[in-house]
Structure 1
Amino acid sequence: MSATRWTLTALGVLGGAIGVLGVVAPDRSLDAAGFEPVADRAPGDHTLTILRSSSLAALSEGGLYVLGATLGWRLFPAQAVAHRLLLAADMVGQVVTGRGPRSLLRGAAWEGVGAAAIGAAVWFDRRR
Protein backbone atom coordinates (compact mmCIF):
# COMPACT_ATOMS: atom_id res chain seq x y z
CA MET A 1 0.00 0.00 0.00
CA SER A 2 1.24 3.50 -0.81
CA ALA A 3 2.38 6.03 1.81
CA THR A 4 -0.63 8.18 0.87
CA ARG A 5 -3.08 5.38 1.55
CA TRP A 6 -1.38 4.51 4.84
CA THR A 7 -1.45 8.16 5.93
CA LEU A 8 -5.11 8.60 5.00
CA THR A 9 -6.01 5.38 6.81
CA ALA A 10 -4.10 6.37 9.95
CA LEU A 11 -5.66 9.84 10.02
CA GLY A 12 -9.09 8.35 9.38
CA VAL A 13 -8.76 5.91 12.26
CA LEU A 14 -7.46 8.61 14.62
CA GLY A 15 -10.18 11.06 13.58
CA GLY A 16 -12.82 8.38 13.97
CA ALA A 17 -11.52 7.54 17.46
CA ILE A 18 -11.68 11.20 18.44
CA GLY A 19 -15.24 11.27 17.13
CA VAL A 20 -16.18 8.22 19.20
CA LEU A 21 -14.71 9.90 22.30
CA GLY A 22 -16.88 12.97 21.72
CA VAL A 23 -20.02 10.87 21.36
CA VAL A 24 -19.35 8.58 24.31
CA ALA A 25 -17.67 11.01 26.72
CA PRO A 26 -18.19 14.60 25.55
CA ASP A 27 -16.78 16.13 28.76
CA ARG A 28 -13.53 14.16 28.32
CA SER A 29 -13.41 15.27 24.71
CA LEU A 30 -13.72 18.93 25.75
CA ASP A 31 -10.99 18.42 28.34
CA ALA A 32 -8.69 16.77 25.78
CA ALA A 33 -9.25 19.73 23.46
CA GLY A 34 -8.16 22.13 26.18
CA PHE A 35 -11.52 23.66 27.05
CA GLU A 36 -12.21 24.51 30.67
CA PRO A 37 -14.61 22.12 32.41
CA VAL A 38 -18.02 23.49 33.36
CA ALA A 39 -19.67 21.81 36.34
CA ASP A 40 -23.20 23.09 35.75
CA ARG A 41 -24.33 24.20 32.33
CA ALA A 42 -26.84 27.01 32.12
CA PRO A 43 -30.29 26.35 30.71
CA GLY A 44 -30.14 26.71 26.94
CA ASP A 45 -26.43 25.79 26.81
CA HIS A 46 -26.27 23.24 23.99
CA THR A 47 -22.50 22.78 23.99
CA LEU A 48 -22.65 19.02 24.57
CA THR A 49 -25.33 18.57 21.91
CA ILE A 50 -23.24 20.43 19.36
CA LEU A 51 -20.14 18.52 20.42
CA ARG A 52 -21.91 15.18 19.93
CA SER A 53 -23.06 16.25 16.46
CA SER A 54 -19.60 17.43 15.43
CA SER A 55 -18.15 14.23 16.90
CA LEU A 56 -20.46 12.18 14.68
CA ALA A 57 -19.20 14.27 11.77
CA ALA A 58 -15.60 13.45 12.77
CA LEU A 59 -16.49 9.76 12.94
CA SER A 60 -18.07 9.98 9.49
CA GLU A 61 -15.10 11.89 8.07
CA GLY A 62 -12.74 9.28 9.51
CA GLY A 63 -14.75 6.60 7.75
CA LEU A 64 -14.50 8.52 4.48
CA TYR A 65 -10.72 8.73 4.86
CA VAL A 66 -10.51 4.96 5.30
CA LEU A 67 -12.91 4.38 2.41
CA GLY A 68 -11.05 6.84 0.17
CA ALA A 69 -7.75 5.15 0.97
CA THR A 70 -9.13 1.65 0.52
CA LEU A 71 -10.76 2.39 -2.83
CA GLY A 72 -7.86 4.57 -4.00
CA TRP A 73 -9.97 7.59 -4.96
CA ARG A 74 -7.49 9.53 -7.06
CA LEU A 75 -8.50 13.07 -6.08
CA PHE A 76 -9.28 12.32 -2.44
CA PRO A 77 -5.84 13.28 -1.05
CA ALA A 78 -6.03 16.73 -2.68
CA GLN A 79 -9.55 17.24 -1.34
CA ALA A 80 -8.47 16.13 2.13
CA VAL A 81 -5.51 18.55 2.15
CA ALA A 82 -7.69 21.46 0.99
CA HIS A 83 -10.38 20.63 3.55
CA ARG A 84 -7.89 20.37 6.42
CA LEU A 85 -6.18 23.64 5.47
CA LEU A 86 -9.55 25.41 5.33
CA LEU A 87 -10.45 24.10 8.79
CA ALA A 88 -7.05 25.12 10.18
CA ALA A 89 -7.38 28.62 8.73
CA ASP A 90 -10.89 28.98 10.16
CA MET A 91 -9.76 27.94 13.64
CA VAL A 92 -6.79 30.31 13.59
CA GLY A 93 -9.04 33.08 12.29
CA GLN A 94 -11.49 32.55 15.14
CA VAL A 95 -8.68 32.85 17.70
CA VAL A 96 -7.10 35.89 16.02
CA THR A 97 -10.42 37.75 15.85
CA GLY A 98 -11.28 36.90 19.45
CA ARG A 99 -14.29 34.75 18.52
CA GLY A 100 -12.71 31.53 19.71
CA PRO A 101 -10.56 30.40 22.63
CA ARG A 102 -6.82 29.81 22.25
CA SER A 103 -7.45 26.09 22.68
CA LEU A 104 -8.75 26.08 19.08
CA LEU A 105 -5.11 26.34 18.06
CA ARG A 106 -4.74 22.67 19.05
CA GLY A 107 -7.37 21.78 16.48
CA ALA A 108 -5.71 24.03 13.92
CA ALA A 109 -2.40 22.28 14.55
CA TRP A 110 -4.05 18.85 14.18
CA GLU A 111 -5.55 19.87 10.83
CA GLY A 112 -2.34 21.52 9.61
CA VAL A 113 -0.13 18.58 10.58
CA GLY A 114 -2.61 16.21 8.93
CA ALA A 115 -2.55 18.25 5.71
CA ALA A 116 1.25 18.32 5.77
CA ALA A 117 1.41 14.55 6.38
CA ILE A 118 -0.91 13.82 3.46
CA GLY A 119 1.01 16.23 1.23
CA ALA A 120 4.33 14.66 2.20
CA ALA A 121 2.97 11.16 1.55
CA VAL A 122 1.72 12.17 -1.90
CA TRP A 123 5.10 13.76 -2.65
CA PHE A 124 6.89 10.62 -1.46
CA ASP A 125 4.71 8.35 -3.59
CA ARG A 126 5.25 10.46 -6.70
CA ARG A 127 9.03 10.29 -6.28
CA ARG A 128 9.01 6.48 -6.13
Structure 2
Amino acid sequence: MRLPRSGAGWTIAVFGLLALLLGALGLIWPETQLRLLGFEVPAERAPGDYTGTFLTASSMASFNMGVYYLLAVATEWRPFYRFTVWFRLVTFTVFSIAVLSDVAPDRFFGVAAWEGLGAVATAVGLWWDARRAAGGPGRPAAADDTAPGPGPVPATDAVR
Protein backbone atom coordinates (compact mmCIF):
# COMPACT_ATOMS: atom_id res chain seq x y z
CA MET A 1 0.00 0.00 0.00
CA ARG A 2 1.28 3.43 -0.81
CA LEU A 3 1.29 6.44 1.47
CA PRO A 4 -1.54 8.99 1.36
CA ARG A 5 -1.14 11.67 -1.30
CA SER A 6 -3.00 14.49 0.43
CA GLY A 7 -3.57 16.07 3.81
CA ALA A 8 -7.11 14.70 3.92
CA GLY A 9 -5.78 11.29 2.90
CA TRP A 10 -3.52 11.24 5.95
CA THR A 11 -6.46 11.88 8.28
CA ILE A 12 -8.43 9.05 6.66
CA ALA A 13 -5.41 6.73 6.84
CA VAL A 14 -4.88 7.36 10.56
CA PHE A 15 -8.55 6.75 11.33
CA GLY A 16 -8.65 3.66 9.12
CA LEU A 17 -5.58 2.13 10.72
CA LEU A 18 -6.89 2.77 14.23
CA ALA A 19 -10.35 1.39 13.36
CA LEU A 20 -8.71 -1.74 11.97
CA LEU A 21 -6.44 -2.19 15.01
CA LEU A 22 -9.18 -1.51 17.58
CA GLY A 23 -11.51 -3.87 15.73
CA ALA A 24 -8.84 -6.56 15.89
CA LEU A 25 -8.34 -5.83 19.61
CA GLY A 26 -12.06 -6.33 20.25
CA LEU A 27 -12.03 -9.63 18.36
CA ILE A 28 -8.92 -10.97 20.09
CA TRP A 29 -9.23 -9.47 23.61
CA PRO A 30 -12.83 -8.32 24.08
CA GLU A 31 -12.43 -7.68 27.82
CA THR A 32 -9.60 -5.22 27.11
CA GLN A 33 -11.78 -3.41 24.60
CA LEU A 34 -14.63 -3.12 27.13
CA ARG A 35 -12.28 -1.75 29.80
CA LEU A 36 -10.87 0.84 27.35
CA LEU A 37 -14.41 2.05 26.72
CA GLY A 38 -15.17 2.30 30.43
CA PHE A 39 -17.55 -0.66 30.64
CA GLU A 40 -17.56 -3.11 33.53
CA VAL A 41 -16.30 -6.63 32.88
CA PRO A 42 -18.04 -9.06 35.25
CA ALA A 43 -16.34 -12.34 36.11
CA GLU A 44 -19.36 -14.19 34.77
CA ARG A 45 -22.13 -13.27 32.33
CA ALA A 46 -25.77 -14.00 33.07
CA PRO A 47 -27.81 -16.17 30.75
CA GLY A 48 -29.24 -14.01 27.97
CA ASP A 49 -26.37 -11.49 28.21
CA TYR A 50 -25.23 -11.01 24.63
CA THR A 51 -22.50 -8.47 25.33
CA GLY A 52 -19.90 -10.77 23.75
CA THR A 53 -22.02 -11.22 20.64
CA PHE A 54 -22.54 -7.48 20.29
CA LEU A 55 -18.85 -6.76 20.89
CA THR A 56 -17.87 -9.32 18.24
CA ALA A 57 -20.24 -7.71 15.74
CA SER A 58 -19.06 -4.16 16.44
CA SER A 59 -15.40 -5.18 16.47
CA MET A 60 -15.82 -6.88 13.10
CA ALA A 61 -17.58 -3.76 11.79
CA SER A 62 -14.70 -1.60 13.06
CA PHE A 63 -12.15 -3.91 11.45
CA ASN A 64 -14.02 -3.81 8.13
CA MET A 65 -14.45 -0.04 8.32
CA GLY A 66 -10.70 0.30 8.79
CA VAL A 67 -10.15 -1.72 5.63
CA TYR A 68 -12.65 0.50 3.73
CA TYR A 69 -10.91 3.66 4.89
CA LEU A 70 -7.49 2.33 3.91
CA LEU A 71 -8.83 1.30 0.50
CA ALA A 72 -10.18 4.85 0.05
CA VAL A 73 -6.69 6.18 0.83
CA ALA A 74 -5.02 3.78 -1.59
CA THR A 75 -7.32 4.97 -4.39
CA GLU A 76 -7.48 8.63 -3.22
CA TRP A 77 -11.29 8.34 -3.24
CA ARG A 78 -12.00 11.94 -2.26
CA PRO A 79 -15.82 11.78 -2.43
CA PHE A 80 -15.56 9.16 0.34
CA TYR A 81 -13.41 11.58 2.38
CA ARG A 82 -16.14 14.25 2.13
CA PHE A 83 -18.83 11.71 2.99
CA THR A 84 -16.99 10.71 6.17
CA VAL A 85 -16.86 14.29 7.44
CA TRP A 86 -20.64 14.54 7.69
CA PHE A 87 -21.26 11.05 9.02
CA ARG A 88 -18.50 11.25 11.61
CA LEU A 89 -20.15 14.45 12.85
CA VAL A 90 -23.43 12.53 13.10
CA THR A 91 -21.60 9.79 15.02
CA PHE A 92 -20.10 12.40 17.35
CA THR A 93 -23.60 13.73 18.04
CA VAL A 94 -25.18 10.32 18.67
CA PHE A 95 -22.34 9.14 20.94
CA SER A 96 -22.37 12.43 22.88
CA ILE A 97 -26.11 12.12 23.43
CA ALA A 98 -25.59 8.53 24.65
CA VAL A 99 -23.16 9.80 27.31
CA LEU A 100 -25.27 12.81 28.28
CA SER A 101 -28.39 10.67 28.67
CA ASP A 102 -26.52 8.06 30.78
CA VAL A 103 -26.86 5.33 28.16
CA ALA A 104 -23.05 5.10 28.02
CA PRO A 105 -20.37 5.76 30.66
CA ASP A 106 -18.56 9.11 30.71
CA ARG A 107 -15.36 7.56 29.31
CA PHE A 108 -17.31 6.74 26.15
CA PHE A 109 -17.24 10.46 25.35
CA GLY A 110 -13.64 9.84 24.24
CA VAL A 111 -15.05 7.86 21.32
CA ALA A 112 -17.40 10.74 20.48
CA ALA A 113 -14.54 13.24 20.68
CA TRP A 114 -12.36 11.04 18.45
CA GLU A 115 -15.12 11.01 15.82
CA GLY A 116 -15.72 14.76 16.03
CA LEU A 117 -12.04 15.70 15.94
CA GLY A 118 -11.45 13.26 13.09
CA ALA A 119 -14.27 14.85 11.07
CA VAL A 120 -12.85 18.32 11.66
CA ALA A 121 -9.31 17.16 10.78
CA THR A 122 -10.51 15.65 7.50
CA ALA A 123 -12.53 18.79 6.68
CA VAL A 124 -9.45 20.93 7.31
CA GLY A 125 -7.36 18.54 5.19
CA LEU A 126 -9.85 18.81 2.31
CA TRP A 127 -9.85 22.59 2.61
CA TRP A 128 -6.05 22.73 2.73
CA ASP A 129 -5.71 20.39 -0.26
CA ALA A 130 -8.17 22.47 -2.33
CA ARG A 131 -6.44 25.69 -1.38
CA ARG A 132 -3.05 24.23 -2.27
CA ALA A 133 -4.36 23.08 -5.65
CA ALA A 134 -5.77 26.54 -6.32
CA GLY A 135 -2.36 28.13 -5.71
CA GLY A 136 -2.97 29.39 -2.20
CA PRO A 137 -0.54 29.31 0.74
CA GLY A 138 1.17 25.98 1.18
CA ARG A 139 1.34 25.35 -2.57
CA PRO A 140 4.68 23.87 -3.64
CA ALA A 141 6.92 25.93 -5.91
CA ALA A 142 6.15 25.73 -9.64
CA ALA A 143 9.23 23.57 -10.22
CA ASP A 144 7.71 20.91 -7.95
CA ASP A 145 4.73 20.54 -10.30
CA THR A 146 6.87 18.57 -12.74
CA ALA A 147 8.33 16.26 -10.11
CA PRO A 148 7.20 12.64 -10.19
CA GLY A 149 4.35 11.86 -7.84
CA PRO A 150 0.62 12.20 -7.54
CA GLY A 151 0.50 15.89 -8.48
CA PRO A 152 -1.82 18.53 -7.08
CA VAL A 153 -5.21 17.69 -5.70
CA PRO A 154 -8.11 19.00 -7.83
CA ALA A 155 -9.72 22.16 -6.46
CA THR A 156 -13.16 20.60 -6.85
CA ASP A 157 -12.49 18.45 -3.80
CA ALA A 158 -13.14 21.21 -1.27
CA VAL A 159 -15.60 20.54 1.54
CA ARG A 160 -19.06 21.68 0.46
CA distance in 2, matches of 1:98, 1:31: 17
Q: Deviations over 1:57-107 (max 9, x none)?
A: 011111111111111223111111112111111111122223222222111
State TM-score, norm by structure 1. 0.93
User: Equivalent of 2:36, from 32, 35, 49?
Assistant: 32
2:62 corresponds to: 58
State TM-score, norm by structure 2. 0.75
Query: Which deviates more, 90-99 or 14-23?
Result: 90-99
* Structure 2: segments with no counterpart, 5+ residues: 133-160
State yes or no: 1:97 paired with 2:101: yes
State yes or no: 1:113 paired with 2:117: yes
* Structure 1: segments with no counterpart, 5+ residues: none
1:81 corresponds to: 85
CA distance in 2, matches of 1:123, 1:20: 32
Deviation at 1:112, TM superposition (A): 0.9
State yes or no: 1:2 paired with 2:1: no
Deviation at 1:45, TM superposition (A): 0.7
| Contact 2:38-2:105 at 8 Å conserved across structures | no
Please tell me the residue identity of whatever aligns with 2:103: R
CA distance in 2, matches of 1:53, 1:89: 22
Q: Deviations over 1:1-41 (max 9, x none)?
A: 11111221121011100000001110001111122222111
- What's the Cα RMSD here? 1.2
Aligned length: 128
Please tell me the residue identity of whatever aligns with 1:25: W
CA distance in 1, matches of 2:15, 2:99: 24
CA distance in 1, matches of 2:60, 2:86: 21
Higher RCO (CA 8 Å, separation ≥ 6 residues): 1
Please tell me the residue identity of whatever aligns with 2:16: G
Question: Which structure dedicates a bigger proportion of its chain to helix?
Answer: 1
Deviation at 1:126, TM superposition (A): 1.4
